[in-house]
Amino acid sequence: MAVTSMNRSTVLNGRKYQSFLAGNYRESFEFIERQTTVGTSTLSVTFSSIPTNYTNLVIRYYTQSQNEISTQEALVLQFNNDTANNYTRIHFLQGNGTTPAAGYSGAAGAIWGGRSACQPSQYPNTYGVGEIYLFNYRDVSKKKMVMSYSGMENNVGIDTIISTGSWNITNAINSITIKNDSGLAFSASCFFGLYGVK
Amino acid sequence: MPQPGHVLIREDILTSPTSNIVYSTLPNFYSDLVIDVSVKSTFSGRTDGGLRFNGDSGNNYERVYLVSGGVTTFTTRIGNQNGLYLLYTPGPNVPFTMEQSEFNIQNYNINGKFKSVNSILNDASQQSTVINGTWKNTSPITSITIFAITYTFDVGSRFRLWGIL
């Protein structure tokens, strides 16, 4: 990317850098890949080229499902194409504007990662947003733990929620598939950003 | 070469009480924006504050939040507000305590969709809160105001704006 302007940094940390970014970034948090949906036929998004030089991964998303029935639905993840019941789906704490809730759902074929907004014909402008944290994704001696916080807000789907879950397999994660729990496609303009944390 | 995913755009540390922090020239090439704050108010008790986008102070914001007060938990949804109220800031009667919050503004530059903000607030002396808010406007976000109502952010409050590639 061409340098088009320069400003004097306001960060005074006493460190010296060779980069133009000169201390103005979190060195441990790096961009890996971003996928954006085009049209309304994308059933899933897969990150299949995951570097092995990070400690944790982060996914940031902005999603809407083509689901016209539900008010909102789960965004789910699968690792290494594993569709068996090897996941602890979710422990969660949820606020829907009326009653706080907590819950658990055990063995499942995917892990919960947050919310997709629904009913796109009626609420075309509302998307669910969230962040998903995958810890120790390449550690072959431990199960893989996932934490997310997410939410969405329109007149029918109202949610803010934090969750944890796990993939109960010790293999390193080398691919991540994200889809709507209903199996229905994503709307256009959804995005999923993958980041590595050192 | 790896690209830094989290780039600091601006940092403000107050040297005098201030009621608004305004980001009026946002770059448009990031995917998301993140604001993290460590704030205290000049009000003797706690006071609200939040975000407004593109100078919009109309009733175009709504939010749902979940609060843990240590003993009780509650959730509330509030629509049609004149700002996205995400701050609940301690004052000088709560010494040595700053509110720590992070606001995630996904797809801030998209045209034709509402803008959603995911935030988490940690005020260890009283409560922890997660909030999801929406600005019901489809314009790209070109400016952000962090505001405190009635009182001001006190000296030492820190505000940082980050771009996410």
Confidence label for B1 from pLDDT (cuts 50, 70 and 90): low
Q: What is the pTM of this model?
A: 0.89
Residue A27: how many other CB atoms lie within 10 Å? 13
**pLDDT tens profile B47-63:** 788 999 999 999 999 99
Q: For residue B90, give the 3-state DSSP assignment.
A: coil
CB-based contact A192:A177 (threshold 8 Å): no
* DSSP string for B107-142: TTT-SSS-EEEEEEEEETTTEEEEEEEEE---SPP-
The shortest C-alpha distance from A168 to chain B (Å) reads 28
* Distance from C-alpha of B69 to C-alpha of B74, rounded to nearest angstrom: 8
- Give the percent of chain A with pLDDT over 70: 86
At residue B2, the pLDDT reads 61
> How many residues are recorded in chain B?
165
- Which residues in chain B have their CB less than 8 angstroms from residue A60's CB? 31-32, 104, 106, 164
Contact B4 A27 (CB under 8 A): yes
Asked if the model's pLDDT at residue A3 lies above 60, the reply is no
Confidence of residue A156 (pLDDT cuts 50, 70, 90): confident
- A31 contact residues in B (CB cutoff 8 A): 2-5, 165
A62 and B66: CB-CB below 8 Å?
no
Inform me whether the pLDDT recorded for A58 exceeds 90.
Answer: yes
Q: Which amino acid is at B103?
A: F
Q: In what order do the strands lie in the sheet with A44-47?
A: A44-47, A176-180, A72-79, A111-117
Taking CB atoms and an 8 Å limit, are B74 and A100 in contact across chains? yes
Taking an 8 Å cut-off on Cβ atoms, the answer to whether A158 and B5 are in contact is no
d(CA B112, CA A68): 20
* Lowest pLDDT segment from A9-23, A54-68, A154-168, B34-48: A9-23
Q: What are the chain B neighbours of A26 within 8 Å (beta carbons)?
A: 4-6, 8, 162
Q: What is the DSSP letter of B149?
A: S
pLDDT category at A155 given cuts 50, 70, 90 is: confident
> In Å, what is the CA distance from B136 to each residue of A14, A78, A127, A190, B149?
42, 33, 11, 18, 21
| Percentage with pLDDT > 70 across chain B | 97
Least confidently predicted of A16-20, A99-103, A178-182, B130-134: A16-20
Contact assignment for B2 to A10 by CB distance below 8 Å: no
Residue to substitute from A31, A94, A123, A194, interface B, most B β-carbons within 10 A: A31
Task: State whether A60 and B65 contact (CB < 8 Å).
Answer: no
* Closest Cβ opposite residue A60 in set B32, B65, B130: B32
The distance of B8 to chain A (nearest Cα, Å) reads 5
CA distance B91 to chain A (A): 27
- Cβ of B5 within 8 Å of Cβ of A29? The answer is yes
Amino acid type, A86: N
